[in-house]
Amino acid sequence: MFYLIILLVYAAVDAMACLGLSQQFGVAGVTNFGFIIFQAAGAYVAAVLALPPDTANGGFQTYVGGFGLPFPLPWIGAAAAGGLLALPFTFLVGRRLRGDFAAVGLLVTAVLLNVLVTDYRPLFNGDAGVALVPAPLRQGMFVTTSNAYQVGYAVGGLALAAVIWWLVHRITESPYGRTLRAMRDNDKVADSLGKNLVALRTGALVTGGAIAGLSGAVLVSFIGVWSPAAWSYAETIVLFTAVIIGGMGNHAGAVLGAVLVPVGFEEITRFISNSNPSLPPNLLPSLQWVAIGVLIAVFLWVRPQGILPERKRVIPRRPWPPWRALPAAAAGRGAGPAAGPAAALAVAGTAAAAAPGGSGGPAAGREPGRPAGPAAGPAAGGFPRPARRHPRPEPVRDILRTEGVSKEFGGVHAVAGVSLSVRRGTLTGLIGPNGAGKSTLLSLLAGTERASSGRIFYQGAEITHLPAYRRARLGLVRTFQLASEFKRLTVLENLLSAVPGHRGDSFLGALAGRWYWRADEAAAIERARGLLARFGLERHANDYAGELSGGQRRLVEIMRALMSEPDMLLLDEPMAGVHPELARRIGEGLRELCREGMTILMVEHELAIMDEFCDPVIVMAEGAVLAEGTMAQLRGRAEVVEAYLVG
Amino acid sequence: MSLLVASVGFGLITASVLAIAAVGFTLQFAVTDVLNLAFAAVMTAGAYTAYAVNAAGMPIWLGTLAAMAACAVLSVLLNYLVYAPFQRRGAAPITLVIVSLGMALIVEFSVAAVTGGVGVSYRMSQGSTIRLGGLVLTTAQLAIIGISLVVMVAVHALLRYTRLGKAMRATAANRMLARNCGIRASRVIGLTWALTGALCGLAGTVFAIDVGTFTATSTDIFLILILAAVFLGGPGHAYGAMLGALVIGLATEVSAVYIPADYKYVVAFVILLGMLAVRPAGLLGART
């Protein structure tokens, strides 16, 4: 009986830890090889908050603190400690560092901290660890050794695990969770869509850290002792194994993994060693680790998605009836009259068309007093016109301008002193032979890469030093030459992930729950469906983007960029690999967008497309601008013909 | 003062052991694209192979050769059976790192299961003590430094003057392009695993000679020193790893004069995290 209770408590602790790890690794794509130190920190902090000063008990152990705080303060402190401990590591998981290098940094940290805590006795009693940690609520009517108390503890632990599940579920199933998953699938693209990677990863580290800290508190309050041997770096690998086997990014999978691996393994080992007392003491633990290693490799090979794969988020045709969702939101924000027909309108056009139409849709309600977008709906067959989300500054004729922008890669001048300007409302083409530096220039403009020298101005303001996500939020959005869809998001989710200013796309918004953001979500879904209808991809709305054909994926990317409500689009070969018929439709659509006020700079190889749609056209060769003009003018210039057709 | 000089001596020995391992690790990463966290575990396997040969009555240099052979075979097998299939399937770099951690567990704890948790030492003479200025070194320690220098020169010659070395550098720079230029990349990669595996075995043996008594888990901390040296010099840069090994080796041992010896690894750790934060490409790597 008692043994069963121990198992239940362990299951609760491991389930919580695995949920936290799955949130980081499976959902946000942050590989935290130091996960165990967050659990350890929580356990130690809970211990020293609950323990009396270390002079008590004859002073046989030394530790900092010893505040003798009553339950639940030690547990709260543990969760806070786990979360705070994550902050110093923010710099590791930031924008610049490769994920696997960051993981190595965290692994090394875990090993080192273990060594330090082992060797430095004054902190947490060194190698021996802290002992006699009081159980919660030990005074009063509860006797900690009674059966009822033990059962109560197990039930409480399981209930807490359930609360954690509810919490991570709320986060993961929100637009914020969708953004986390988008970042996991392709962080560079998420960056280019206005997602602040550092903030997102910090959020994942802190959330997971706090959960891990709490799990440590639950554990230490039950077993009463905590020493460095309990949190060797290899324990992290056990938790990783659990999450991999159970299913990354699936909460039920994380719990299943927790039951199968940490709990199950202990059970099996105990069973074997009990039935074979003659075995050498070191053998079974060693073989246990070998088995963990084998499980990792075998599962990643045979079933990388785990026993319970990540669920596909299918969004039904009408998630919330408009007569319920939209008026409720409008009333809640006092944004004006009910917007019953808004949804219907948005199907034909966009939510943006609905917003200035006086309906007070969700987007308009958020930023009162900002300039309204163009009132006219899109022409029949035209592209949906996105809403304005940021006040447009004093209109300057050249929406984008560069002064001597250069980029060096180890001595190679990929872009060498490019000065150009793009007029507002034009569909400007950018051509040049392979290696001319077109894509690199686009990366510099969008902020995906930093210019080695030179200055970039957008809407009259300098943006040379702004990171990509800030530029995207200003309305300067790019697409990529290579397929860049979020593979494990559906097509619809890909589009929704780009919506700016979504109320559910923040940590607090996600915690607030669905009622808080469902109006934004409904509007975004309608707008996305409008785009899908326009591009003929409605049938694939709920397919994984990674399963589409190459041409369809290009479309998804363009639609996603449009969802981000840009003022200026930087398109890197949007028609490459697309059926000519469709390419023509894309071209017409882009021209339509420009007529309505958008500016587009487009890299393209197909001269026929340039001929038909682009004016003016900029020619690049060997990193520099060679010429600019209409295609007809350019054809007359010998050096252009030579560079492009011969070189 | 004499303590400082002596610590410089210890630093040079640590740096010598570290340099062999770090160069092996970094070449492995550069050419094969695997951040092989099982490297230290394979070192342990090598150290025990040498122990087995040594315990059977053979001299330690024979044991060292056996360790190099065993680790070369083990590394080639790891690549052939595990890493290469994952790479062919297009697994993400982070997946390979996780797999390599799994391999580290398998190798390290297989060794632990076979050998038990008892510490062992080689049967060998440390040789006579030699004084060089303020430095006091045994013949064995001098030999370690000598072996390391020879290895560094040999690696330099390999990369600079041989066809294989050039092919390795080409494959590291751009595997696809190397293949298109007629380099048999898979063969180069296989040879790299064998070569770096041999370095790994050598590193394991000299590590064991240096520390005296070792167990299956002795190299856990050493992996951190390797990673620190590799990231300090820039991952994938052989000369960077040599420089990194020298800096880390000296920094850890000299710092032990001023802070308790238990904490000497903190220096390596701080250097590693600092490099990751400020300049992930390392001292000799290209700025990104």
Secondary structure of B45-91 in HEC code, one letter for each residue: HHHHHHHHHHHCCCCHHHHHHHHHHHHHHHHHHHHHHHHHHHHHCCC
A289:B108 CB<8 A: yes
Which of B276, B279, B287 is most worth mutating to test chain A (most A CB atoms within 10 A of its CB)? Answer: B276
As for the ipTM of the complex, it is 0.90
> Is there a contact between A153 and A147 (Cβ–Cβ < 8 Å)?
no
Choice among A129-143, B195-209, B225-239 with the minimum mean pLDDT: A129-143
Cβ neighbours around B2 below 10 Å, total: 9
Separation of alpha carbons A517 and A515, rounded Å: 6
Question: Domains of chain A, with CATH numbers?
Answer: 2-232 (no CATH), 322-362 (no CATH), 398-485+566-646 (3.40.50.300)
> Which residue has 């309305």 as its token pair?
A475
Q: Which of A52-66, A378-392, B187-201 has the highest mean pLDDT?
A: B187-201
* Shortest distance, CA A32 to any CA of chain B (angstroms): 11
Most confident of A342-346, A487-491, A621-625: A487-491
Residue A432: strand pairing partners: none
Rounded to whole angstroms, how far apart are CA atoms B58 and A637?
80
Residue A234 forms contact with B (CB below 8 Å): yes
Query: What is the per-residue pLDDT for A354?
Result: 36
Mean pLDDT of chain B: 89
pLDDT at B1: 56
Q: Which of residues 170-199 of B touch A (CB under 8 A)?
A: none
Query: Per the structure block, which two tokens stand in for B217?
Result: 């888990």
Chain B (90-129) residues lying within 8 Å, Cβ to Cβ, of chain A: 91, 93-99, 101-106, 108-110, 112-113, 116-117
Q: What is the DSSP string of A18-31?
A: HHHHHIIIIIS---
Contact B116 A280 (CB under 8 A): yes
DSSP A260-306: IIIIHHHHHHHHHHHH-TTS-TTHHHHHHHHHHHHHHHHHHHH-TT-
Cβ within 8 Å, pair B95-A410:
no
Weakest mean pLDDT among A234-248, A582-596, B84-98, B141-155: A582-596
B241 close contact with A: CB closer than 8 A:
no
pLDDT at A333: 39
CA gap A265, A288 in Å, rounded: 8
Mean pLDDT calculated for residue range A221-243: 91
Closest chain A residue to the Cα of B88, Cα to Cα: A301
Interior/surface letters B126-155, b for 16+ CB within 10 angstroms, e for the rest:
eeeeeeeeebebeebbbbbbebbeebbeeb
Q: Do A108 and B113 touch (CB under 8 A)?
A: no
Contact A115 B260 (CB under 8 A): no
Asked if pLDDT for residue A295 goes beyond 80, the answer is: yes
Distance of CA A581 to the CA centre of its chain: 35
Q: Which CA distances in Å does A55 have to A43, A74, A334, B26?
A: 20, 19, 61, 50
In whole angstroms, give the CA distance from residue B32 to residue A306: 27
Q: Judging by beta carbons within 10 Å of its beta carbon (0-12, 13-18, 19+), is residue A309 exposed, middle or buried?
A: middle
* Candidate from A99, A111, A240 with C-beta closest to B221: A111
Report CB contact under 8 Å: A104, B35.
Answer: yes
Q: Poorest-confidence range of A48-62, A132-146, B159-173, B202-216?
A: A132-146
pLDDT tens digits for range A575-631: 887 788 888 888 888 888 898 889 999 998 878 888 888 888 998 888 888 888 888
Closest chain B residue to the Cα of A290, Cα to Cα: B106
Question: Which chain A residue has its CA at the smallest distance from B266's CA?
Answer: A112
CB spacing of A91 vs B117 below 8 angstroms: no
Q: Which residue, among A30, A101, A241, A283, would best test binding to B if mutated, counting the most B CBs under 10 Å from its CB?
A: A101
CB atoms within 10 A of CB A87: 12
Q: A151 Cβ partners below 8 Å, 6+ apart?
A: A5
Report pLDDT for B218: 86
Q: Could you give the C-alpha distances from B71 to B5, B78, B156, in angstroms and in order?
A: 35, 10, 21
The radius of gyration of chain B from alpha carbons, rounded to an integer in Å, stands at 18
Residue B151 — pLDDT band, cuts 50, 70, 90?
very high
* Closest alpha carbon to A161 in A27, A22, A36: A22
Residues of chain A found within 8 Å of residue B288, distances taken between Cβ atoms: 96
Show me where the domains of chain B are located: 2-278
Q: A294–B91: do the CB atoms touch at under 8 Å?
A: no
Sign of CA dihedral A534, A535, A536, A538: negative
Q: May I ask the CATH class of domain B2-278?
A: mainly alpha
Interface of B with A in 208-227 (CB under 8 A): 216, 220-221, 223-224, 227
Q: Indicate which of B26, B87, B88, B94 best probes the interface with A, i.e. most A CBs within 10 Å of its own CB.
A: B94
Mean pLDDT, rounded, of chain A: 82
Q: How many residues does this entry show for chain B? A: 288
Residues 6+ apart with CB under 8 A from A148: none
CA distance A452 to chain B (A): 10
Chain A CA closest to residue B234: A101
The Cα angle at residue A538 between residues A315 and A317, in degrees rounded to 5: 35
Q: Kindly list the residues from chain B whose CB atom is less than 8 angstroms away from the CB atom of residue A287.
A: 109, 113
Size of interface A-B (CB pairs under 8 A): 131
pLDDT band, very low/low/confident/very high, at B182 (cuts 50, 70, 90): confident
Q: Count CA within 13 A, CB hemisphere, residue A375.
A: 3
User: Which amino acid is present at A386?
Assistant: P
The answer to whether the CB atoms of A287 and B265 lie below 8 A apart is no
- Spell out which residues of chain A touch residue B85, defining contact as CB-CB under 8 Å: 301
